[in-house]
Amino acid sequence: MRGSDGHSFFDAAVAPPSHRSSDDTTADADLDARIISSSPHDHPAPFRLLGTAAMAETKARSAVIVSCPHAGRHYPEELVAAGSLGLEALRDLEDFAVDALLDDLRHTTIGGICNHIARAYIDVNRPDDALDQAMFDEPVTAAKQTRKVMAGYGLLPRLTSARAPIHDRQLPVDVVNRRIQRAYRPYHDKLQQLLGNAADTHGHYLLVDCHSMPATDQYNRQLPDIILGDCHGRTLAPSIGKQIDDFIQSKNFTVDWNTPYAGGYITSHYGKATGPGQSVQIEINRSLYMQRPYQIDASGAVRVTALLRSLFQFLDSIAGHKAHTAR
């Protein structure tokens, strides 16, 4: 996502033509989806590490850890073969380009993790037993059918965001364990390691789970620039939430909390407002940085990237204080 001169491709895309390098026009190819092998012997890495997490250090430089679970653009061929939808239709479950917006983490002390595997294959932001019984050709061990599961958005999504069926047949039960072992378990094992390193080094951590959202809600009402989620006060101390809110608004972005996105499994599972490990979800309005589906508005993306970079630096500066002591 970043050239040898240290500038992101967002910066290059808004530079005058005379200042662009010869490969600037191909930069968006980094954001293309790709079909990957389903062979267990030919799996690319299911995630990549962000920022200082990529430096193979056991001591975390910052108590702030970033997670990006839904920006994956790798589509295993077994997923594509199991339905009649093309790649373009499957992609509407992506948090498009959020990983690229986080590229400047490398210039901070913060580390994190970004999923490579597409959400349509398995959703790492769900409990591992959030299974839709109707999807399988025999009974599966599943948790109580939640609203999200029944709506088609469980561990193995049944529908795209446009509510098109992802699979054209019921799936064998062994698909669940195979997908968990391929993508879900590695993501959570590494995320837990990063959080554990931060807690061991600093005595606490703040997890920031990053997503994107459409410009409008299901009733066609305009959504704010940023929606912050703390599971309605359960995962983040109010004083920390207020500082985050005030900081984002000071950068001339509109902010709201918890509606319609209060925080998914990652936020709720790894954070507790009164504990040493806290979490917040950030939803970024795609209209800020996208022109058309799967195309970047470069000037908007530069603005959002700058916001995130400054926000994470701000969070790093306050993360030395245990959040639950400042309620």
Q: Is residue 14 part of a domain?
A: yes
Say whether 289 sits in a helix, a strand or coil: coil
Residue that wins the pLDDT comparison between 68 and 24: 68
151: in domain:
no
**Angle, CA of 135, 137 and 141, to the nearest 5°:** 70
**pLDDT-derived band at 44, boundaries 50, 70, 90:** confident
Alpha carbon distance 173, 91 (integer Å): 24
pLDDT digits (tens, 9 = 90+) for 267-312: 999 999 999 999 999 999 999 999 888 999 999 999 999 999 999 9
Identify the pLDDT of residue 16.
36
Count structural domains, the chain: 1
Q: How far apart (Å, rounded) are the C-alpha atoms in residues 70 and 65?
A: 16
Burial profile 66-92: b = 16 or more Cβ within 10 angstroms, e = fewer:
bbbbbbbbbbbebbbebbebebebbbb
Read off the tokens for 217. Answer: 């809600």
Amino acid letter, 134: A
Nearest to 198 by CA among 59, 52, 50, 57: 59
Compute the C-alpha angle 299/305/310, nearest 5°: 130
> Is the Cβ–Cβ distance between 76 and 44 less than 8 Å?
no
Residue whose tokens read 């319609």: 260
- Asked, for residue 21, whether it belongs to a domain, the answer is yes
Q: How far is CA 234 from the centre of its chain?
A: 20
Report the percent of the chain where pLDDT is more than 70: 87
* Residues of the domain holding 49: 9-115+183-319
pLDDT per residue as tens digits for the range 72-114: 999 999 999 999 898 999 999 999 999 999 999 988 999 999 9
Task: Examine residue 303 and state whether it is found in any structural domain, yes or no.
Answer: yes
DSSP secondary structure code for residue 74 in this structure:
E
pLDDT at 56 > cutoff 50: yes
Quote the CA–CA distance of 124 and 11 in Å, as a whole number: 31
Q: How far apart are CA 202 and CA 78, in angstroms?
A: 42
Structural domain contains residue 198:
yes
> Does residue 258 carry a pLDDT above 50?
yes
- pLDDT at residue 93, as a whole number: 96
Mean per-residue pLDDT of the chain:
88
The CATH number of the domain holding residue 247 is: 3.40.630.40
Report if residue 167 sits inside a domain. Answer: no
Which token pair is 202? 């600093």
Q: Is 310 a domain residue?
A: yes
Instruction: With a cut of 90, say whether residue 54 has pLDDT above it.
Output: no
177 in a domain, yes or no?
no
The answer to whether residues 212 and 96 touch, using CB atoms and an 8 Å cutoff, is yes
Instruction: Quickly state the pLDDT bin for 320 (edges 50, 70, 90).
Output: low
